[in-house]
Amino acid sequence: MILEIDDVRLAFGGVHALDGATFSVGEGQIVGIIGPNGAGKTTLFDCISGFRRPDSGRIVFDERVDLVSRPAHDRVVLGIGRLFQQAKLWPSVSVRDIIRTAQHRSIRAGFFRSVLGFAEASERRASEQADEALELVGLSAHADKPAMELSTGMLRLCEIAAIVSVRPRLLLLDEPSSGIAQKETEALLPLLRRLRDTLDATVLVIEHDMPLVMGLADRIVAMAEGRVIADGTPAQVQVHPEVLQSYLGTRAASA
Amino acid sequence: MTEFLSTLPGGIVTGAVYALLAMGLVFTYKATRVPNFAYGALAALVAFFHYSIVTGRHVGFHINVLFVHLNVGWTLRLPFWGAVFVSLAFAAVAGLVIERFIMRPFARAPMVTHILVTLGLMLLVSALAQQWFGANDLIVPNNQAIFPRTSAFALGSVKVSWEQVGVIGLVLAFGAILYWFFRYTETGLAIRAAATDRDVASLQGVSVRQLSLISWVGGTMTAGLAGIMLASLVVSSNPGTLVLLSIKGFAAAIVGGMVSFPIAVVAGFAIGIVGEIVRHYSAHANSTIFVGADEIVTLGAVVVVLALRPRWIFKGIREDEDAGVLARSAGVDLAIGRWIDPVEAYRLWRASTGGLVSPAVWAWIKRVFPFVLGALALVFPFLPLPAFWTFPLNLSFIYLLVVLSYVVLVGWLGQISLALGAFLAVGGAGAAIGANTLHLPFPLPIVTGVLLSIPVSILVGLPALRLRGLHFAVVTLAFALVAERAIVPHFAGTANLLVKPSYLSSDRPLYYVFLALTVITFAFAARISRTKTGRAFRAVRDSETVASAYGIQPTRTKLTGFVVSGAIAALAGTMVAYELGSVQTGYASVLFSITWLAYAVVAGITSLAGPLIAAAIFGLLPALSQGEVHAAKISHWPEVTAAALLITIMAFNPQGLASMARFLRTRVSAHEEEPDEDLRAIEAAASVERPKVGAPA
């Protein structure tokens, strides 16, 4: 098990965003997380990536690392990468520099060593990785543009390139299709598959686009009101009565 | 006990004025969500206006822009309370003008923009006040005091004057009116509603724009009243001291979370009373060690309260997530955007039009320019120039480093600190300790100055950097005030002249020392910008959340930037000490910090060329153009111009510093989104087969 989520609870005031969420993810799986708005999907991602601290419960990475007690910035060193919902990056930073910045922790030199030029080798390696990753997603031509000049789709690609360059073992994708037109979503499916194959990573993906998530995931976890209500293959979850009731409704029949 | 009691009337009465200032700030914040840093300056402006009418002083107006000199003046005289009436009317008009012509474009701007704009306004107002009313201290004689200074009554041996009774009474009356206003009037209720949720309030038919107008007029009148009382109470003041005193009002307001009247009032009284007690006993101890002890205690307490993060403070204040840029929404598209960062602007203009010269020539110019500039700098002192040039030239190295310090902290890291002057003071003090106390040989005092700044940066930065935006600005402001009152007096003045080797007694050798230090520092900064530290700075500026997702520690990164920027400012401080003999109040002041922040933003806050432009235009040019009489009459027009430019620049970039470049770019490229571009890119990325990236490290 690369990730175990055990009875995680988190309340904001009186609202229970996570109410005992429990499931685990095996190495190499692609797990889709679905659920209506307010089901606690993004809150769960925030707990895994360390931006929120659960009130109770355990999140264990790689069978030994207790993620709850670790700060957010440790995640990338452990091998956990995240794609944000709104393709959030650093708007005024150029595409190439974004990828170089993403490799912050791979340049193992302190302030003075790097400023005085004792870390030139790893700086150069970071630049090479950046060019390699940009090549991979086909953004080389836009390397000098700042992120804010990219369209949403390209921003996604840039983010994917950044994630590829840090080579995570567990990848959290928060709605990769959000903000992208339908046609492009279809093109996203082979890209995400290839991303998994390239990285050899385990993928956890939150997605509202049913054809995309059903086509991509080996396994689906359905959430509602902060709890896991169904867990199984896409085919099983699609016909699960509780899922139909809380989320898919009549759309399941047509999908 | 009697001695202790005797401090109370003075403490309560200054506390009352702080409480009044705090109430005005809360008033404005509640209705508009703008932390008004110009508040103290407005108080000073109205106070000076008022006493100039009471005295019937000839009000002079000097225009002294570069080479143009002009004098206008008139005389006006009114009895005290008549003058109060006129002054408050003046305050109301000032508030109206500010709201209508300055603040309105910023109604929905992020906190960083509000801070910068009201700082610009503070600079504008206080520079205008000094331009109009002169740099002389305002002395309020007994016959012009707000209430007679004669003894009203005595409690035991503790004498209480009519002035004290009257001021406390006025503040209480004002508080009662405010209470009534918010409790029972429709407008008051509307402001309370808007404070809770602006959008809901405006859906309910509350005109947010009208509230903003009312609060600016009301807030400015409160500031004016407080200023008039404060000037009378402290007897002798100048715009600078009134602005500084009103920082205490700001401290009280922020302890109340900027929205709570009762907590702000209690905090105001507490700051006044505790400050007075500490001042009394530290003066009684009859030792210079205790100079400024009251500032350290009161403002230290405010910082501690903030660092404890009680819920009531953070409930009221909006936390603009990731400080700088948030909204990707379209902004105002105007040509003035090109002036934001001249270097960046030229680069973009060149990218879109091809520029004046071909890229190859441009690359060559860029390579050669530093050498030309360097060669010029090397021979400069030997050129046949007027003798008075040497002094301003040496000062301009100090300005270069001052602006560089802001480029690192504000431009790259996105944090607004007002403690720059304080770090100049620390640097100067460190140099004085090194040279005078430890008797170190020449270059070492510079090292001690810079080294001293590091623990100070960490001490101030650790609590401050846990806070963001407004709180960070206020904590650094508190530190700046402490430095101005508690550090500088020990090291400034003729009694504390820096011991320096005889070969450094003239300007020319110092010029070369400063040149070398400046070149080294700029090279260092350029390296930071190009390596992982600089990239981490910009990542934290643009989004702390994303930065930490990629393993960058925001607090540590901000602390690094704070220490680097503090060390650069401290180096400038040691240069001040070597050039002028000791740390000068003018360089260590809050006003100096804010003035140069405005210059830095106007000249270009994100590039290394910004300091060159700022030092040339705002440091060297005014000094040279005013010629040898430069010291005799200080012109405030550079500040006024820069402050006006700062506000204008922000008006066209309401989303804050980091988005400036975007406005330029959209302006230049008029980027039209092609619908199929995305699709093609994603398809291309998905279909191309490429070898696997290596195994996880």
Percent of chain A with pLDDT over 90: 21
> Is A153 close to B662, i.e. CB distance below 8 A?
no
Helix ranges (H only) for B161-207 are: 162-184, 186-196, 198-203
Residues of B in contact with A137 (CB under 8 A): 685
pLDDT at B444 over 80: yes
> Which residue has better confidence, A211 or B105?
A211
Share of chain B above pLDDT 90, in %: 15
pLDDT over threshold 50, residue B84: yes
Whether chain A has a CB inside 8 Å of the CB on B528: the answer is yes
Q: Write down how long chain A is.
A: 255
Q: Would the pLDDT of B290 be above 70?
A: no
- Checking if the pLDDT of B282 tops 80, the result is no
B1 touches chain A (CB under 8 A): no
Is A91 within 8 Å of B533 when comparing Cβ atoms? no
Q: DSSP states of B502-556 as a string?
A: GGGSSHHHHHHHHHHHHHHHHHHHHHHHHSHHHHHHHHHHH-HHHHHHTT--HHH
Q: Quote the Cα angle for B683-B686-B691, to 5°.
A: 145
Residues of B in contact with A79 (CB under 8 A): 696
Q: What pLDDT is attached to residue B311?
A: 63
On the CB side of B665, CA atoms within 13 Å amount to 19
| For testing contact with chain A, the best of B535, B557, B559, B564 (most A CBs within 10 A) | B535
Cβ of B542 and A90 within 8 Å?
yes
Exposure on the CB side of residue A255, measured as CA atoms within 13 A: 19
The pLDDT of residue B339 is: 35
- Between A50, A102, A133, which is nearest B550 by CB? A102
Q: Do residue B531 and residue A101 have CB atoms under 8 angstroms apart?
A: no
B590-603 helix and B637-652 helix, angle to the nearest 10 degrees: 50
Is B650:B106 a contact under the CB 8 Å cutoff?
A: yes
Taking all residues of chain A, what is their mean pLDDT, rounded to a whole number?
Answer: 85
pLDDT at A112 over 50: yes
Q: Is B538 on the interface with A (CB under 8 A)?
A: yes
pLDDT band at B513; cut points 50, 70, 90: very high
Chain A contact set for B330 (CB, 8 A): none
Per DSSP, the three-state class of A29 is coil
Domain extent, residue A124, equals 92-166
Which of B531, B549, B693 is facing A123, going by the closest CB pair?
A: B531
Where in chain B are the domains? 2-313, 335-342+398-658
- At B688 the pLDDT is 53
Residue A57: half-sphere exposure toward Cβ, Cα within 13 Å:
24
Statement: residue A133 has pLDDT above 50: yes
Q: Give pLDDT tens digits for A158-193.
A: 988 898 888 899 999 988 887 777 777 777 888 888
Using CB atoms, pick whichever of A73, A137, A162 lies closest to residue B552.
A73
pLDDT for B400 beyond 90: yes
CA distance A153 to A184: 8
Q: Which of A77, A90, A115 sits opposite B531 (nearest CB)?
A: A115
Tokens for A38? 């307010």
Looking at per-residue confidence, does B205 or B393 come out higher? B393
Instruction: Kindly indicate the confidence band of residue A156, based on its pLDDT and cuts at 50, 70 and 90.
Output: confident
Confidence of residue B181 (pLDDT cuts 50, 70, 90): confident
- Contact between residue B678 and residue B359 where contact means Cβ atoms under 8 Å apart: no
Contact B687 A190 (CB under 8 A): yes
pLDDT 10s digits, B474-485 = 888 888 888 887
User: Does A82 touch chain B if contact means CB atoms closer than 8 Å?
Assistant: yes
Nearest to B549 among A82, A137, A187 (CB): A82
- What are the residues facing A83 on neighbouring strands? A173
Categorize the per-residue pLDDT at B446 as very low, low, confident or very high, splitting at 50, 70 and 90: very high
Mean of the pLDDT values across residues B100-115? 78
Asked if A123's CB is within 8 angstroms of B532's CB, the reply is yes
What's the residue count for chain B? Answer: 697
Edge-first strand order for the sheet with A80-83 is A80-83, A170-174, A202-206, A30-34, A219-224, A227-232
Judge: B552–A101 Cβ closer than 8 Å, yes or no.
Answer: yes
In this predicted structure, the answer to whether residue B657 has a pLDDT above a threshold of 60 is no
Cα distance between residue A102 and residue B539, in whole Å: 9
Q: Are B563 and B417 in contact (CB under 8 A)?
A: no
Average pLDDT, integer, range B646-661:
58
Whether A14 and chain B come into contact, CB under 8 Å, resolves to no
Surface of B (640-679) touching A: CB under 8 A: 658-659, 661-662, 665, 669, 671, 673, 675, 677-679
The ipTM is 0.89
The stretch B42-64 carries a mean pLDDT of 78
One-letter amino acid at B42 equals L
Q: Nearest CA to CA, how far is A238 from chain B (Å)?
A: 27
pLDDT band at B329 (very low <50, low <70, confident <90, very high): very low
Instruction: Look at A116 and B527 and tell me if their CB atoms are within 8 Å.
Output: yes
Q: In this model, does residue B695 exceed pLDDT 90?
A: no
Smallest CA–CA distance, residue B166 to chain A, in Å, is 47
The answer, for B691 touching chain A at a CB cutoff of 8 Å, is no
* Residue B679 vs residue B401, higher pLDDT: B401
A146: pLDDT confidence band, cut at 50, 70 and 90?
confident
The per-residue pLDDT for B58 is 64
Q: In this prediction, what percent of chain B has a pLDDT beyond 70?
A: 78
Give the whole-angstrom CA distance, residue B249 versus residue B22: 5
Q: Do B551 and A114 touch (CB under 8 A)?
A: no
- pLDDT > 60? residue B340: no
Is pLDDT above 70 for B369?
yes
Q: Is pLDDT of B325 > 60?
A: no
Number of neighbours of residue B73 by Cβ within 10 angstroms: 10
Closest CB from A76, A82, A107 relative to B532: A107
pLDDT band at B447 (very low <50, low <70, confident <90, very high): very high
Residue A151 contacts B where some CB pair is shorter than 8 Å: yes
Give B 24-83 residues with CB within 8 A of chain A.
Answer: none
Q: Do A167 and B696 lie within an 8 Å CB cutoff?
A: yes
Q: Is the pLDDT of residue B559 over 90?
A: yes
B678 to chain A: closest CA residue? A153
- Mean pLDDT, to the nearest integer, of B494-513? 81
Q: Which residue of A has its CA nearest to B414?
A: A92
Q: Is residue B315 over pLDDT 80?
A: no
Asked if A198's CB is within 8 angstroms of B679's CB, the reply is no
pLDDT tens track for A29-56: 899 999 888 888 889 999 999 888 899 9
Q: Give how far A105 is from chain B: nearest CA, Å.
A: 6
- pLDDT score of B565: 96
**Predicted local distance difference test score (pLDDT) of residue B672:** 42
Q: What mean pLDDT do residues B242-260 have?
A: 82
| Confidence category of residue B73, pLDDT binned at 50, 70, 90 | low
Listed by number, the residues of chain A in 109-148 with a beta carbon closer than 8 Å to a beta carbon of chain B are 109, 111, 114-117, 119, 123, 126, 132-133, 135-139, 146, 148
Lowest-confidence segment of A127-136, B357-366, B426-435 by average pLDDT: B357-366
Q: What is the pLDDT of residue B277?
A: 85
Instruction: Report CA A116 to chain centroid distance, whole Å.
Output: 35
Say if the Cβ atoms of B527 and A115 lie within 8 Å: yes
Lowest mean pLDDT among B73-77, B136-140, B350-354, B421-425: B350-354
Mean pLDDT of B263-287: 82
With 70 as the cut, is the pLDDT of residue B427 above it? yes
pLDDT above 90 for B203: no
Q: Looking at the complex, does the CB of residue B539 fall below 8 Å from at least one CB of chain A? A: yes
Q: CA-CA distance, B343 to B608, in Å (whole number)? A: 9
Please determine, for residue B265, whether its predicted confidence score (pLDDT) is greater than 50: yes
In A, minimum Cα distance to B664 occurs at A149
Residues of A in contact with B538 (CB under 8 A): 90, 92-93, 97, 101
pLDDT of residue A249: 54
Contacts of residue B492, Cβ cutoff 8 Å, sequence gap at least 6: B582, B583, B584, B585, B588
CB contact under 8 A, B535 and A100: yes
Does pLDDT of B338 surpass 60? no
Please tell me the distance from the alpha carbon of residue A206 to that of residue B589, in angstroms, as a whole number. Answer: 53
Chain A nearest-CA distance from B464, in A, is: 20
Angle of helix B554-580 relative to helix B420-432, nearest 10 degrees, comes to 60
Overall CATH class of domain B335-342+398-658: mainly alpha
| Residue A84 backbone dihedrals phi, psi, to 5 degrees | -85, 160
CB pairs under 8 A between A and B: 182
Structural domain includes residue A54? no
Q: What are phi and psi of A20, to 5 degrees?
A: 85, 35
Question: B303, B560, B593: which is closest to B424 by C-alpha?
Answer: B593
A255: contact with B, CB 8 A cutoff: no
How far is residue A55 from each of residues A12, A61, A68, A74, measured CA to CA in Å? 10, 18, 10, 20
Contact A90 B547 (CB under 8 A): yes
The pLDDT value recorded for residue B335 is: 23
Over residues B190-194, mean pLDDT: 78
More confident of the two residues B138 and B49:
B49
User: Among B5-19, B190-204, B222-236, B508-522, where is mean pLDDT lowest?
Assistant: B190-204
pLDDT of residue B330: 24
> Percentage helix, strand, coil, to 5, in chain A?
45, 25, 30
* Cross-chain CB nearest to A191 (options B560, B685, B695): B685
pLDDT grade for B327, boundaries at 50, 70 and 90: very low
Indicate the pLDDT class of residue B515, thresholds 50, 70 and 90: very high
Q: What's the mean per-residue pLDDT of chain B? A: 78
Q: Mark yes or no for CB contact B658/A92 under 8 Å.
A: yes
Task: Measure CB to CB from residue A115 to each of B524, B545, B552 and give the nearest one.
Answer: B524
Long-range interactions of A115-120: CB distance < 8 A, separation 24+: A115/B524, A115/B527, A115/B528, A115/B531, A115/B533, A116/B527, A117/B527, A119/B531, A119/B532
Whether B570 has a pLDDT exceeding 90, the answer reads yes
How many domains is chain A partitioned into structurally? 1
